[in-house]
A and B are shown apart, each in its own frame.
Chain A
Amino acid sequence: EAQVTQNPRYLITVTGKKLTVTCSQNMNHEYMSWYRQDPGLGLRQIYYSMNVEVTDKGDVPEGYKVSRKEKRNFPLILESPSPNQTSLYFCASSGFPISYNEQFFGPGTRLTVL
């Protein structure tokens, strides 16, 4: 089954404790991205990657890191989480160029930073 998977689905952590949210897709997609969703603000892009070893900032990259060492994986790293990073996070993937390809989203990761 074609899908985007994320882990963990739920995470409660404390300020400053490094964490990684994994994302994996099995559709051989070149393009992957991370979004955060906050009430009243919709989804905002954090980082995106157009292929292996190619990443770039989205609209709200501060406090996040990403890496793309393999085509299928695109982990999101919070090196020192803060309470304002409490949010619902989505990973997405699509073929490239994204203008002519449908975006597929993972199930989401609900993160709470205390």
Chain B
Amino acid sequence: GIQVEQSPPDLILQEGANSTLRCNFSDSVNNLQWFHQNPWGQLINLFYIPSGTKQNGRLSATTVATERYSLLYISSSQTTDSGVYFCAVDWGKLQFGAGTQVVVTP
């Protein structure tokens, strides 16, 4: 099966800091999504991004499908950004990475 690796596994940020999360995948994929799981457990769609760059407020994502990676940028982080960030790739079925646990401190 396809391998999906996210880095770093954990990230502690001070409010206002910027950060980059990475998702590497081992084979060609049809699409890629980023999700945020908030502290209450809810999974929230952030980006559907098979290739290219998208932005939504302080968040943006870039997928370079030919090089098999995607990046999620968090700018001017806020405490509400805390939670786990997952990337999931589709190669006929959806395969999730293990996630990056983000803690933003005041």
Interface window among B19-27, B35-43, B58-66: B35-43
Number of interface residues of B (CB under 8 A): 19
- Assess whether A74 is interfacial by the CB under 8 Å rule: no
Find residues 16-72 in chain B having any chain A CB closer than 8 Å to their own CB.
Answer: 30-31, 33, 35, 41-43, 45, 48
Summed over the interface, the residue pairs from A and B with CB atoms below 8 Å come to a total of 46
Task: Identify which of A41, A98, A100, A105 contacts B93 (C-beta below 8 A).
Answer: A98
Give the A interface residue count (CB, 8 A).
22
Are B99 and A42 touching (Cβ within 8 A)?
A: yes
Dominant SS among interface residues on chain A: strand
B90 within 8 A of A: yes
Given that A99-B30, A102-B45 are known contacts, is A42 also in contact with B92, CB under 8 Å in the complex?
no
Do A99 and B31 touch across chains, with their CB atoms under 8 A apart? yes
Give the 9 A-B CB pairs with smallest separation, nearest first: A99-B30, A105-B43, A102-B48, A43-B96, A42-B96, A42-B98, A108-B41, A99-B90, A107-B42
